[in-house]
Amino acid sequence: MAKNSIKALILDMDGVIWRDKHPIGDLPKTFNKIESRGIKYVFATNNSTNTVEKYVELLGQNGLRVGIEQIFTSATATAKHLQKLHPDGGKIYVVGMDGLEKTLRNYGFEVSSDDPLAVVVGMDQNLTYEKLKTATLLIRSGVPFIGTNPDKTFPSPAGLVPGAGSMLAAIQTATDKQPEVIGKPKATMFLQAIETLGEKPENVLVVGDRLETDIAGGQAANCKCGLVLTGVSNKAMGDAWRPQIDYIAETLDTLIDQV
């Protein structure tokens, strides 16, 4: 691939920038390198647990100054999807964290189990049987079942822990219904990010650690893709992936040296 063909990056966060908010490598050094090359960047994460404002704060704590317009999450993608279907807002039942609930409220929805327009399920570290029960009964009664993202696991310093996909699987088993998934590997967030970046897809590099979401989604959006080995995928998995991945590197920092 010709050098300097990459004009912008769409970066996953969990497993790329940090693990459970512990930074991976010297982030200010890496981003100084990116900026010195004149490469633009945004962040796109399947994690629905935080608001975009919280991500700006978390990145700032790691020495990175970004604006809310540079953050794309499965929560915002889900909220925008629901807003298109229900421009006047309404009630949504949520199995998820405060960040998902706040995002839905910011887009004009009320969080309630009383005759909701949809059941939205994301990663929930406070998951209870009662939440599963309520979601199951609503979905079985005909309420649409929506998942923010299908990530089965989530990288942490202790290892891989249950992600949103694990919550979806429990409810799917109980309801015999497949959720409509909004986040990666669908191209929705990537297309939103490409529009913000103002670049052609072929000049944008999607960087992620998870083949079935980050890489599949980036390829669906016709972007170049880079796999880093700091999250859930290893090199053998990356080498075996088809279509072939454009770049595979140990870390984001070493990936930038290849671009």
Residue 45 tokens read as 């994460």
The 8-class DSSP code of residue 183 comes to S
29 & 113 share domain: no
Write down the pLDDT at residue 20. 77
Long-range contacts of 161-166 (CB under 8 A, 24+ apart): 162/123, 163/123, 164/46, 164/48, 164/74, 164/96, 164/121, 164/122, 164/123, 164/124
- For 152-172, what is the mean pLDDT? 90
- For 39-52, what is the mean pLDDT? 95
Q: Quick check: is 68 in a domain?
A: no
224 & 192 share domain: yes
pLDDT-derived band at 158, boundaries 50, 70, 90: confident
Q: Which of 181, 211, 238 is the endpoint of a domain? A: 181
Q: Quick check: is 80 in a domain?
A: no
Residue 160 tokens read as 């891989």
pLDDT-derived band at 3, boundaries 50, 70, 90: low
Q: Quick check: is 41 in a domain?
A: yes
- For 229-243, what is the mean pLDDT? 96
Domain total in the chain: 2
Q: What is the pTM of this model?
A: 0.87
- The active-site residue out of 12, 124, 151, 246 is 12
- For 22-51, what is the mean pLDDT? 96
Write down the pLDDT at residue 1. 47
How confident is the model over 187-225, as pLDDT tens digits?
Answer: 989 998 999 999 999 999 999 999 999 999 999 999 999
How confident is the model over 67-104, as pLDDT tens digits?
Answer: 999 999 999 999 989 999 999 999 999 999 999 999 99
Long-range contacts of 231-235 (CB under 8 A, 24+ apart): 231/12, 231/14, 231/15, 231/16, 231/19, 231/155, 232/15, 232/153, 232/155, 232/160, 233/209
Q: Which of 124, 153, 181 is the endpoint of a domain? A: 181
Bridge partners of 32?
none
Q: What is the mean pLDDT of the chain?
A: 95
pLDDT greater than 70 at residue 48: yes
Rounded to 5 degrees, φ, ψ at 38 are: 75, 20
- The active-site residue out of 14, 124, 209, 246 is 14
* Contact by Cβ (8 Å): 116, 138: yes
Q: Quick check: is 54 in a domain?
A: no
Write down the pLDDT at residue 151. 87
Domain CATH for 231: 3.40.50.1000
Known catalytic residue: 12? yes
Q: Which of 147, 181, 215 is the endpoint of a domain? A: 181
174 & 194 share domain: no
How confident is the model over 100-157, as pLDDT tens digits?
Answer: 999 999 999 999 999 999 999 999 999 999 999 999 999 999 999 999 999 898 777 7
User: What CA–CA distance (Å, rounded) separates 44 from 39?
Assistant: 16
Q: Considering only the C-alpha atoms of the chain, give the largest distance between any 2 of them, rounded to a whole number of Å.
A: 56
Other C-beta atoms lying within 10 Å of the C-beta of residue 232:
22
* Domain carrying residue 37: 8-46+184-258
Spacing of C-alpha 156 from chain mean position: 16
